[in-house]
Structure 1
Amino acid sequence: MNEERIRLCNQKPMFSSGKYILYWMQTYRRFDSNHAFAYAASLAKKQNKELIVYEGLRCDYPWNSERLHKFILEGMYDNQTRADELGVNYWPFVESKTNPARGILKEIAKDAVAIITDDFPCFIIPKQIEKLSKKINCPLIAVDSNSLLPFSRFDRSVSAARILRIWIHKEFLKGMPKFTKPKWKKEDLLGLNGNTKPPAGFGLPKNLNSFLQTFDFKNEVPPAKGVKGGRNEALKILKSFVTKKLQTYETGRSEPNRPEITATSGLSPYLHFGHIGIEEIFHSVLEVTSKGKWNPERMSHQKPGDREHFYSESSSANHFLDELITWRDIGYLFFWKDKPNNINLENLPDWVKSNFKKHKSDTREHLYTLEQFESANTHDELWNAAQTELVKTGRMHNYMRMLWGKKVIEWTKTYEEAFQILEHLNNKYAYDGRNPNSYTGILWCFGLFDRPWFPERNVFGNVRFMSSDSTKKKFKMKSYLEYIGELRGNSDSLFP
């Protein structure tokens, strides 16, 4: 196990009299390719203790909805199947009106020698870890499975992707990071499955759809048609992407289109909920592009920071891996080093704050309320299309997401109101919301990780500006807008 990934969250002695090592599965919701599970298994073997895996789902989390609940539960069903295959003692707990979750983790922690959990730096996870660490009498150890490289290697967050790209490439050239076990076999975990039974109330509902109908979710967001959560689905999507779309990623990813046509992976929700890991995506991409012959020596040793050639001889693979590693890591590292409890515009660079202070009283040509934004009721057909895609499918094409964010800044009374609206809409509807990259993606629209742009403009100042007119000139939008029309139940093209 790579010690760089381990963080002790409290100073409690390890009690050899405990019954088991408890893995509290929070964000890396899978068994294979999971550093936290691997560490829990190795510790259980070392201590000669039983291994228990606890995965819980409360119903009071922020932005809760049937959409998110179903996606998570579908992953839990896959985990139950995999646990049965491996002989792992898996304790899923799903809160309901008649089966409250309050105090359940503290109860099962009483018999733990140690608790291992996922060191995710965003949303409610850091506070949950801190809170539990103060209530238990055994060590709580958090394991970083967020990226290919342990984040403890980096002294600070960065202001631009080009800086982090060089850092990452140099770390790779020092030596490949230690990857975790990609796929477990039952014999690997022999002796770790004892006879300890969970308290009453554990287990998964027999009928998922009927169970979901018993909830009164705060947010009425139905599951998106055709979207399924879980590890099995994630692996299917990965295979389809690397065999059918990867080769056109460099040239085709920015073009808004139907998801079956657009050269994007569609893996973001599955990464967010931990149904798939970054290491297995990395290996799958390089195995396909090098016909199974890839090894670390094939990386470019000439120029760290070279986005076009570093990982592979395939330019499309390099572009995809740069998004997967550099651009994903920059958001995670932003949270990892600073761990801000409440993200807001105070997290922006000083040059952006100065711009906004200068332009806060600028006249806005259009102003919309949250309700108008949420119902896709603006004067701009492209913005309305992007919002419709988000509401109907739980996703949004990445280029359209940038335009979507920029326009909300332009059409609200204050920058603070714009941020609150973007946070709410993204976290309520997007499967991959409530994530470090969700927040840094929104803040990018305000200037984070970017540079000043000229000429200076109304409302934005020197923050990058985007327009629907330029988007229409840059891309052929007909197919995308026809797709959005179909989502609305209108087969006619939206394109004039």
Structure 2
Amino acid sequence: MSQGSSKTDAPQGGAPAIRVRALNSASWNPSGEYVLYWMVAHRRPSWNFALDRALFWAQTLGKPLIVLEPLRHGYPWASDRFHAFVLQGMAAQHEAFEKAPLTYYPFVEREDVPGSGLLEALGARAAVIVSDDFPAFFLPRMQRAVARRLDVRLEVVDSNGVVPIRLANKLFARAYDFRRFLHRSVQSWVHDAPRAAPFDGVELPPAQLPAHITERWPRASSALLNAEREALAELPIDHSVPPVDELKGGWRQAEQHLQTFLNWRLDRYHKDRNAIEDGAASGLSPYLHFGHISAHQIFGELTRREGWSPEDIQAKNASKREGFWSMSPGAESFLDEVLTWREVGFNFCTMAPGDYDRYESLPAWAQQTLAEHADDPREHLYSLGEFEAGHTHDELWNAAQMELVHRGVMHNYLRMLWGKKILHWSASPEEALAIMIELNNKYALDGRDPNSYSGIFWVLGRYDRAWGPEREVFGKIRYMTSESTRRKMRVEGYIQRWAAEVEDA
């Protein structure tokens, strides 16, 4: 290619066109020294459409590829917990990329080494910049701001889920409708997947990072990449939320969790997913959130295990939770969670980018019934601090909160109960929403994610329907109690396990 192209006639390849968007009107630069992949969400070395797209550009232009994976410190709720998880992933990336035909550039912002200006400095020498299309948290706003300051094409690539986030081009108010769309459009997405071995057969010229850039913005130290406590302590982030020692970040850890789930829990997922003792949850949500594993890889591994092919689809069962895929009950139940329920959240954040975390985005019926019961008497009222410390009258709720605080995760069923009782014990539904978002995003490894926002807003009626009988505080919102949970499942061991943490809080 001898000249730059506009954003409308850029070459196609590396990823389905529906997954690629230009964020500015600048052309790609034929005299650029390299292709730059600005990795901010899909933090993995394979099964990654954004990486595939960057490799395509580099091969097409005959340019080296630089992968910049930065970690800033000024994002909301930045803490040792989230930094450590991301840094452990960066260490795994460093190892994976050592023999790859690219230059990996891990950068960790410090107070004395701010990251501002780095992207522009690298972009000034780039032929094109590729980044990740993630529809939530601060990332879209940050990318748009940077795109306006660049003189070279910046495009973002969707590698969030199995279904392209812009395939529907409409917002689904019900999971049932999204499931029906997903099933009926299956041939539009089921055959496309990013590459499991993206570097096979790829040869690129070597890249040399400009010395003046690495001097001003040095690569992350080995101490930081190892998430050593002393190195974390020097960063201007929240040190009161410590790392979770039993959950390490990175694509290798993610793959181990996936294999453990497929080998030992998938077969009983449909029966035991909500069990508290010896449950069958996948444990993959933190790795999905930080991009350490791809929904495509999960789908691919699962379908290979099941011996499945697209010809097995039962179109007559479109929109049904079971029977569409012709797989085992555990596999069908898990696919409904990882496809329907996870990706409907990405649909909402994509189609309502400024509203997905606002109270006003709730369905009209939910806002009406909550308003009608806003002044109902509450037997118990707790402040954010009391909720955070697990100082309520309900020992099961307290145990769930302590699991969130200390492990960074919470049992799936208890997470629903946790939210329902915050609604029950807060002065208003708006206050309840603010408390749920604050606690979830501060402590949960899978927080700040479209899927976790779906769960929080489901508590208040999103993706649900009106229920009866009408109750105080809840109105027509679905009601849950600790007492009913105790009747459904064994919880005493769980409560006992976390009781000491409540006492120490």
- Give distance in 1, aligned partners of 2:407 and 2:238: 19
The answer (yes or no) to whether the contact 2:102–2:207 under 8 Å persists in 1 is no
TM-score (norm 2): 0.93
Note closer, same or farther for the CA distance 1:389–1:115 as it changes in structure 2 (3 Å cut): same
Unaligned runs of 5+ in 2: 1-14
| Aligned: 1:188 with 2:201 | yes
Q: Which of residues 232, 249, 256 in structure 2 aligns to 1:229?
A: 249
Q: Does 1:287 align with 2:307?
A: no
Q: Residue 286 of structure 1 contacts residue 312 of structure 1 at CA under 8 Å; is this kept in 2?
A: no
SS of residue matched to 1:254: coil
Q: What CA deviation, in whole Å up to 9, does each residue of 1:24-70 have, x standing for no partner?
A: 00000012000001001001111121111111001111001101100
Residue 229 of structure 1 aligns with an amino acid whose one-letter code is G
Q: 3-state DSSP class of the match of 2:267?
A: helix
Alignment of 1:70-109 (within 5 A): 70-109=84-123
Letter in 2 for 1:191: L
* Correspondent of 1:203 among 210, 216, 219: 219
1:69: which partner in 2?
83
Residue 486 of structure 1 deviates from its aligned partner by 6.7
Query: 1:234, CA displacement in angstroms?
Result: 0.5
Moved more, 197-206 or 442-451: 197-206
* 306-315 or 133-142, which deviates more: 306-315
d(CA) in 2 for partners of 1:30, 1:313: 28
Question: Retained in 1: the 8 A contact 2:373–2:474?
Answer: yes
Confirm or deny: 8 A CA contact 2:276 2:494 kept in the other structure.
yes
Partner of 1:263: 280
- Residue aligning to 2:358: 344
Paired residue type of 1:195 = Q
CA shift digits 1:384-438 (9 cap, x unpaired): 0110110010000111000000101111111111111110000000000001111
Conserved 8 A contact 2:233-2:239: no
SS at match of 2:156: strand
Question: What's the counterpart of residue 482 of structure 2?
Answer: 468
Answer yes or no: is 1:273 the counterpart of 2:293: no
Equivalents in 1 of 2:500, 2:293: separation in Å?
A: 30
Give matches, 1:299-378, under 5 Å. 299-340=313-354, 343-378=357-392
Name the structure 1 match of 2:471: 457
- In structure 2, the CA distance between the partners of 1:87 and 1:175, relative to structure 1 (3 Å rule), is closer
**Which stretch shifts more, 214-223 or 235-244?**
214-223
Q: Deviations over 1:364-401 (max 9, x none)?
A: 11000111000000001111011011001000011100
Aligned partners of 1:45 and 1:192 also within 8 Å: no
Q: Which one of the candidate residues 217, 225, 238 is aligned to 2:258?
A: 238
Residue deviations 1:318-365 (CA, integer Å, cap 9, x gap): 000110000001111001111116722100011011112211111111
| TM-score, length of structure 1 as denominator length | 0.94
Counterpart code for 1:394 = G
Q: What runs of 5+ residues in structure 1 fail to find an aligned partner?
A: 491-496
Aligned counterparts, 1:23-42, within 5 A = 23-42=37-56
Report if aligned partners of 2:110, 2:236 keep a CA contact under 8 Å in 1: no
The residue that corresponds to 1:3 in the other structure is 17
Deviations 1:265-295 (A, max 9, x none): 111000000000000001111222x2xx322
Secondary structure of the 1:162 match is: helix
8 Å CA contact 1:148–1:177 kept in 2: the answer is no
Q: Secondary structure at the match of 1:353?
A: helix
Letter in 2 for 1:52: I
**1:117-139 Cα shifts (integer Å, max 9, x gaps):** 11100000110111011000011
User: SS at the partner of 2:67?
Assistant: strand
What does residue 8 of structure 2 align with?
A: none
**SS of equivalent to 1:276:** coil
Q: Which residue of 2 aligns with 1:439?
A: 453
How far has the Cα of 1:489 moved from its partner? 9.1
Provide the C-alpha distance between the structure 1 equivalents of 2:417 and 2:154, rounded to a whole number of angstroms.
Answer: 42
Q: Is the Cα–Cα contact under 8 Å of residues 398 and 502 in structure 2 kept in the other structure? A: no
Q: 2:10 corresponds to which residue?
A: none
AA aligned opposite 1:411: W
- What is the letter of the counterpart of residue 161 of structure 2? S
Structure 1 stretches of 4+ moved >4 Å: 486-490
8 Å Cα contact 1:173-1:301 kept in structure 2: no
- Alignment partner of 1:422 is 2:436: yes
Which of 475-484 and 376-385 deviates more?
475-484
Q: How many angstroms does 1:154 deviate by?
A: 0.1
Contact 1:250–1:320 (Cα < 8 Å) also in 2: yes
Is the contact between residue 241 and residue 265 of structure 1 (CA under 8 Å) also seen in structure 2? yes
Summarize deviations over 1:161-199 as a string: whole Å, max 9, x none: 1111111011114563411111234x5331243334452
Q: Which among 408, 419, 439 is matched to residue 405 of structure 1? A: 419
| Residues 29-38 or 352-361, more deviating | 352-361
Letter in 2 for 1:211: A
CA contact (8 A) 2:162 2:190 kept: no
The separation in 2 between residues aligned to 1:40 and 1:175, in whole angstroms, is 21
SS at match of 1:113: strand
Distance in 2 separating the partners of 1:344 and 1:418: 12
3-state SS in 2 of match to 1:189: coil
Give the Cα separation in 1 of the matches to 2:235 and 2:490: 43
More divergent stretch after superposition (295-304 vs 226-235): 295-304
Structure 1 position 85, deviation (Å): 2.4
**Aligned residues of 1:21 and 1:50 also touching (Cα < 8 A):** yes
Counterparts of 2:188 and 2:90 in 1: how far apart (Å)?
Answer: 38
| Alpha-carbon offset, residue 231 of structure 1 | 0.8
Deviation at 1:474, TM superposition (A): 1.2
Q: Is the 8 Å Cα contact of residues 364 and 459 (structure 1) preserved in structure 2?
A: yes
Whole-Å separation in 2 of the counterparts to 1:177 and 1:333: 20
Number of the residue aligned with 1:494: none
Matched to 1:227, the amino acid is L
- Residues 16-165 of structure 1: pairs in structure 2 closer than 5 A: 16-165=30-179
